[in-house]
Structure 1
């Protein structure tokens, strides 16, 4: 038996509880992992609260991330005792996820935890940090360098935002952080932001084409914020879009694209190719200061996961909410 967050769907709501489950109930897979840590991401918050229909199969164990130790494996690539992690691949919405003490998964989803990270470090980074690095890789691929000008990070106090700031600062970028929590300004500067602005300056409907401010951006918010970011991006700049905290809409025009030749890159972390995933994790091992992870991470027990899901959706969680599933 093992403990897990367990979701069931009624006619009117999602029912969330922590309960004991039998190992026999685990879905198919060729590797059994003794999970050590998982996380609460925005998508997990939607799944646990039922606020948006992200879960595709019922019942479900949520958790789009996990890190732990291989307990048994039918694939010779992995052996008992190996430290491994997973991000995405339908974990937590189509396949039972990481908010449990056990997970049976497909071996092709597993990535060895890179040195110098522990399994706790891996989940302090998690999908949020891995997504942040995918954004950085896309900016670099499109020629955005520190000498091109400032980089904007929206939703800066959240999981993607905090890791993005830390990585960009280490790479030498001049980072502007946009947040609705200006009381976190000192914290964001500690991570590496040179300037902190109020998200209200970006979140309302604005001009279709504004003053050129940023060489690139990492946007986690969507909606009017993303539209305003594109309108203020410099000639041949690049904006990466990886979130929808403000909304699904995108009220903009073609002007920034055809007059300033900007690029808008969609960032998908769920089904990204394995080679890109491993590159992102190798770069995180090189370009993320492990010491900064403590400042962006809170570690909670499994019984706290359900309440934390609502806090994540409300924007009350600074940085990363890591769940110790054995606590």
Structure 2
């Protein structure tokens, strides 16, 4: 339960980003962006991608969590405000891959900043379900939007991903940022999640 769907989703996202190396026949992934990096999926993704050997750039609005993110393996911390506002059709390509746990308007700028052949693994919508983008990143740079549907994964994929978990996840660290909530506490916590005021992993204990 410590990993649950959040851990499984983080693993799927990370392997989607890594797939660039296979799809482009050996072209290495180096710089990877993770949005919503202090959340359950984001925190575990930062850890996994760092263990994979990538330079992880973690996006957060929580300035007091820089040390927390660096402890998980983030090389660089970026304020989420950097992804607000208007975006050009294409901007300087910075990211080899992206794990986006937020969705919404920031994706427009993220697509524009993704390098040729880069993969954006999208798994969340706390920032909104709509995106306003254009075709240029996809037809000029070959950027790929990879939707992550954890519930629809095949048994074969599940077996592979869970088999890799022990190599890529520090379970003691996951335990340190996991909070056990009662149903009452969940109702109090959910609005904080939507406002970006909660960090880490939340598990509901129906017996609490």
User: CA, structure 1 residues 303+273, in 2 after alignment: closer, same or farther (shift >3 Å)?
Assistant: same
Separation in structure 2 between the aligned mates of residue 288 and residue 165 of structure 1, nearest angstrom: 10
203, 206, 211: which is aligned to 2:92? 211
User: What secondary structure does 1:212 align onto?
Assistant: coil
> Taking structure 2 as the reference length, what is the TM-score of the superposition?
0.91
User: What secondary structure does 1:248 align onto?
Assistant: coil
Q: Residue 131 in 1 paired to residue 25 in 2? A: no
Separation in structure 2 between the aligned mates of residue 278 and residue 284 of structure 1, nearest angstrom: 10
Separation in structure 1 between the aligned mates of residue 191 and residue 185 of structure 2, nearest angstrom: 11
Counterpart contact for 1:159–1:319, Cα < 8 Å? yes
Q: Residue 236 in 1 paired to residue 114 in 2? A: no
Q: CA deviation at 1:146?
A: 9.6
Q: Unaligned regions of 5+ residues in structure 2, if any?
A: none
Q: CA deviation at 1:206?
A: 1.2
156, 159, 162: which is aligned to 1:275? 156
Separation in structure 1 between the aligned mates of residue 124 and residue 183 of structure 2, nearest angstrom: 26
Q: Deviations over 1:218-251 (max 9, x none)?
A: 0112222111111101111111111112111111
Q: Which residue of 2 aligns with 1:85?
A: none
Separation in structure 1 between the aligned mates of residue 183 and residue 102 of structure 2, nearest angstrom: 28
Q: Residue 317 in 1 paired to residue 201 in 2? A: no
Matches within 5 A, 1:156-235: 156-235=37-116
Alignment RMSD (CA, Å) = 1.8
Q: Deviations over 1:97-138 (max 9, x none)?
A: xxxxxxxxxxxxxxxxxxxxxxxxxx2212111111111121
Counterpart contact for 1:146–1:174, Cα < 8 Å? no
Separation in structure 1 between the aligned mates of residue 193 and residue 36 of structure 2, nearest angstrom: 12
More helix by share: 2
Counterpart contact for 1:165–1:193, Cα < 8 Å? yes
Q: CA deviation at 1:189?
A: 0.7
Q: Unaligned regions of 5+ residues in structure 1, if any?
A: 1-122
> Taking structure 1 as the reference length, what is the TM-score of the superposition?
0.59
Q: Which residue of 2 aligns with 1:295?
A: 176
Q: Deviations over 1:29-73 (max 9, x none)?
A: xxxxxxxxxxxxxxxxxxxxxxxxxxxxxxxxxxxxxxxxxxxxx
More strand by share: 1
Counterpart contact for 1:124–1:321, Cα < 8 Å? no
Counterpart contact for 2:18–2:29, Cα < 8 Å? no
Counterpart contact for 2:98–2:119, Cα < 8 Å? yes
Separation in structure 2 between the aligned mates of residue 281 and residue 146 of structure 1, nearest angstrom: 25
Question: Which has the larger Rg?
Answer: 1
Separation in structure 2 between the aligned mates of residue 199 and residue 177 of structure 1, nearest angstrom: 9
Separation in structure 2 between the aligned mates of residue 127 and residue 313 of structure 1, nearest angstrom: 18
Q: CA deviation at 1:302?
A: 4.1
Count residues with an aligned counterpart. 205
